[in-house]
């Protein structure tokens, strides 16, 4: 087999989904070679352990459990994962925290090709097991860490240490409690989608803050928020009520 080809396994409990994805991979992804398929947790574990693929398309819901059970039980973990699912649900949030990829069914050519391009840029066997471990942690409890994709690879940070996030063109800057910053290759819109259910709130098209680091709030048309690091950030008028509502949920008020 050509060493440049990426050994790929498809795990899905629906025959037509496995067939359709296999055909799309063959037609649109010439660098992938489908070396096997499986339809259950049991057969999925078996094929991964025996074939040792580099990429696995993994359905979240399987006939005898879910794809996460496979990740908990396998010993071989040196592969990238692209989850496939028909549902936008809680699990997708955990997947994003872990910097793993997913495709929503029905899978389009554009989405598939885009996912494979991202996969090609982020292949890193050293960090793959860490991503799987973080995914499992995020599924069991509210996540306390997040893996951030950068131009150089990935960084793993504690969410507790993030003071605020700032938009920078197509990128986002994470400003940390210790005064350092991390530029990630995702937009602030992507960051908002991932963090908005936690202690973070978007206050402006350029800023998303961690409510844990609010020092004060100055009223005005939109107002300004003061953070414990000395930074003062503007709150846009249209986001003011959202900010106030979420702040009331987070702190005791009179």
* Residue 199, phi-psi category: left (phi > 0), alpha (psi -120 to 50), beta (remainder): alpha
> Which domains occur in the chain, in start order?
6-139 (3.40.50.2300), 145-250 (2.40.50.1020)
Report which of residues 84 and 138 the model is more confident about. 84
Say if CB 11 and CB 38 are below 8 A apart. yes
CA distance 24 to 18: 10
The pTM of the full predicted model, rounded to 2 decimals, is: 0.71
The rounded radius of gyration (Å) of the Cα atoms in the chain is: 21
Residue 171: pLDDT over 70: yes
Give the phi and the psi of residue 247 in degrees, each rounded to 5. -65, -40
Residues 77-99 pLDDT 10s: 888 899 998 876 667 877 887 87
Q: For 153, how many CA atoms within 13 A lie in the half-sphere containing its CB?
A: 10
Please check whether residue 203 is in contact with residue 195, taking contact to mean a CB–CB distance below 8 angstroms.
no
pLDDT for 161 beyond 90 = yes
Banded pLDDT at 3 (limits 50, 70, 90): low
By the 8 A CB rule, do 152 and 171 touch?
no
Provide the pLDDT for residue 254.
45
Quick count: other Cβ atoms within 10 Å of Cβ 115? 19
Q: How confident is the model at residue 219 (pLDDT cuts 50, 70, 90)?
A: confident
Distance CA 75, CA 110 (A): 33
Q: What's the pLDDT score for residue 92? A: 80
Predicted local distance difference test score (pLDDT) of residue 239: 94
Question: What digits encode the pLDDT tens for the residues 99-134?
Answer: 788 899 999 999 999 989 877 766 666 677 778 878
What's the rounded mean pLDDT across residues 214-236? 92
pLDDT tens readout for residues 24-72: 999 999 999 999 999 999 999 999 999 999 999 999 889 898 888 998 8
Question: Poorest-confidence range of 6-15, 214-223, 238-247?
Answer: 214-223
| Average model confidence (pLDDT) across the chain | 88
Burial of residue 103 (number of CB atoms within 10 Å: 0-12, 13-18, 19+): middle
The DSSP 8-state label assigned to residue 89 in this structure reads: -
The pLDDT value recorded for residue 8 is: 96
């Amino acid at each position: 087999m050509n060493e440049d080809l990426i050994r790929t396994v498809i795990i899905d409990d629906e025959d037509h989904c496995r067939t359709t994805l296999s055909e799309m991979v063959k037609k649109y992804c010439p660098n992938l070679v489908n070396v096997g398929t499986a339809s259950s947790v049991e057969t999925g574990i078996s094929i991964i352990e025996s074939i040792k693929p580099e990429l696995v398309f993994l359905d979240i819901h399987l006939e005898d459990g879910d794809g996460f059970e496979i990740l908990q039980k396998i010993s071989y973990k040196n592969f990238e994962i692209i989850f496939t699912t028909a549902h936008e649900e809680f699990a997708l949030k955990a997947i994003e925290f872990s910097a793993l990829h997913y495709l929503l069914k029905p899978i389009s050519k554009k989405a598939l090709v885009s996912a494979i391009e991202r996969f090609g840029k982020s292949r890193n066997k050293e960090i793959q097991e860490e991503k799987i471990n973080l995914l499992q942690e995020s599924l069991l409890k509210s996540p306390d860490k997040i893996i951030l994709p950068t131009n150089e690879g990935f960084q793993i940070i504690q969410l507790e240490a993030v003071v605020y996030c700032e938009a920078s063109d197509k990128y986002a800057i994470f400003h940390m409690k210790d005064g350092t910053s991390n530029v990630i290759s995702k937009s602030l819109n992507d960051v908002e989608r991932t963090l908005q259910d936690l202690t973070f709130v978007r206050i402006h098209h350029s800023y998303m803050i961690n409510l844990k680091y609010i020092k004060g709030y100055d009223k005005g048309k939109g107002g300004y928020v003061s953070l414990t690091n000395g930074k003062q950030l503007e709150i846009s008028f249209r986001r003011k009520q959202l900010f106030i509502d979420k702040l009331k949920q987070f702190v005791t008020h009179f």
